[in-house]
């Protein structure tokens, strides 16, 4: 007996679209005298938005499931247990290297196949981490940058990815780019590490030859009373710079 095939997500979405427009067409036919073109347009937009919302919800669920499966398999390959947050390095370094090489590609596949979802952004965050551990910082940066397209504007996930990209730029000596990335991360209110990101931005502004911007960020951190979250040596350096600049203006 032939096995019944379950409809795919694409098939379900297509069927919903077809049924939705069939309903809309029937409604227009029944009310063709009363309906103006503008009203029809509004109905089309509303129906399309509803179908798109339904499709996105299913996409998010599918992406989350795919990410969880890859994550759990990666943990097992590294000798950890599903659900573990910290992964210990295997006793045999070759086991760890091979696991990273295999699963960096699988995380990237989840990122591509579920683009536009938070699961895709998280998968590319993981892929970037693995690239970094494999000694490929440029590939790590590319993965984190790609993850921004799916992270959602103004989210903590966006901020985390921006901070990773900024750190890669800093490691490459791209101080101005790093400063801009850190600052964008620090401006996202929901990001728990926002003040540390702004402190990093101040440090990079200084390295980029932008002392005024660096001192302005220091003043912002002082006003928010969060200097205890900033490395003491960075605070001392910025304060010294501010004093020198103030003395220079007084002369």
Q: Write the pLDDT tens digit of every residue in 44-99.
A: 334 344 434 444 555 578 888 999 999 999 999 999 888 777 788 899 999 999 99
User: Among the residues of the chain, which ranges form H helices?
Assistant: 9-30, 37-77, 93-113, 118-133, 137-151, 156-171, 175-186, 194-207, 211-223, 232-250
| Tokens representing residue 213 in the block | 């911007």
Q: Are 197 and 183 in contact (CB under 8 A)?
A: yes
Q: Are 111 and 150 in contact (CB under 8 A)?
A: yes
Average pLDDT over residues 35-50: 39
Cα–Cα dist 55/12, whole Å: 9
Q: Does the global pTM surpass 0.75?
A: no
Q: Write the pLDDT tens digit of every residue in 169-200.
A: 999 999 999 999 999 999 999 999 999 999 99
């Amino acid at each position: 007996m032939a096995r019944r095939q379950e409809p795919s997500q694409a098939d379900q979405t297509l069927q919903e679209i077809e049924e939705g427009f069939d309903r809309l067409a029937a409604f227009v036919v029944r009310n063709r005298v009363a309906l103006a073109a503008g009203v029809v347009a509004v109905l089309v937009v509303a129906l399309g938005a509803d179908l798109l919302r339904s499709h996105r919800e299913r996409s998010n669920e599918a992406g989350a499931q795919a990410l969880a499966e890859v994550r759990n398999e990666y943990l097992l390959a590294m000798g950890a247990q599903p659900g573990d947050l910290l992964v210990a390095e295997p006793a045999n370094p070759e086991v760890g290297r091979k696991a990273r090489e295999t699963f960096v590609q699988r995380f990237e596949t989840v990122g591509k196949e579920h683009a536009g979802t938070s699961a895709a952004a998280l998968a590319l965050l993981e892929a970037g981490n693995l690239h970094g551990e494999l000694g490929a910082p440029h590939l790590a940066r590319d993965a984190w940058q790609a993850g921004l397209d799916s992270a959602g504007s103004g989210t903590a996930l966006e901020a985390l990815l921006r901070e990773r990209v900024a750190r890669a730029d800093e490691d490459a000596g791209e101080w101005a780019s790093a400063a801009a990335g850190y600052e964008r991360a620090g401006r996202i209110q929901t990001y728990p590490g926002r003040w540390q990101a702004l402190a990093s931005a101040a440090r990079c502004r200084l390295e980029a030859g932008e002392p005024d911007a660096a001192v302005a960020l220091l003043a912002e951190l002082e006003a928010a009373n969060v200097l205890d979250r900033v490395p003491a040596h960075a605070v001392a350096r910025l304060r010294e710079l501010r004093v020198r600049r103030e003395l220079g203006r007084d002369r």
